[in-house]
Amino acid sequence: MIRANDRIHIPETELEEHFVRASGPGGQNVNKVATAVELRFDLRQSQSLPPAVRSRLARLAGRRLTKEGVLVIRAERYRTQEQNRADARARLAALLREAAEPPKFRVKTKPSKAAKERRLKAKGQRGAIKKLRRDKPPHE
């Protein structure tokens, strides 16, 4: 079971793992042993996620989400299946934790009257400096 927080857990039955050959370093083993892990989680069919978390996770997943709504995480950082399996599950848990946190709403604010006046005064000063540069003094 993967735990995102106290309320959100994903049971093993909703996860599917495939072991495939990894690219990159590994010596002679790399061509013989399937150490990379492809962890699949069907986001659309999952009963363990609230709708709001599901939609945020879909947005966070980006291109890791297939057209069928399956989240695919490929882990091939390590040379052993066990380490890659733990890495894939940790990455899924991290994504779930991020999706479980509701976004903070922005509170619109307006600049104060004094701030507007300061900004306009500074703009006027910059304009005056540039105007002095533009006007050339007469030659003698």
Q: How confident is the model at residue 123 (pLDDT cuts 50, 70, 90)?
A: very high
Euclidean distance between CA atoms 99 and 14, whole angstroms: 18
Q: Domain segments of the chain: what residues?
A: 2-100
CA 1, 103, 70, 8: dihedral to nearest 10 degrees?
Answer: 20
Q: How confident is the model at residue 125 (pLDDT cuts 50, 70, 90)?
A: very high
- Show the tokens assigned to 132: 């002095």
pLDDT digits (tens, 9 = 90+) for 108-119: 999 999 999 999
Amino acid at 2: I
Placement of tokens 């533009």 in the chain: 134
- Show the tokens assigned to 81: 């299946």
pLDDT digits (tens, 9 = 90+) for 30-78: 667 787 888 888 888 877 888 888 888 888 888 888 888 888 888 888 8
Domain topology for 2-100:
Double Stranded RNA Binding Domain (3.30.160)
pTM score of the predicted model: 0.67
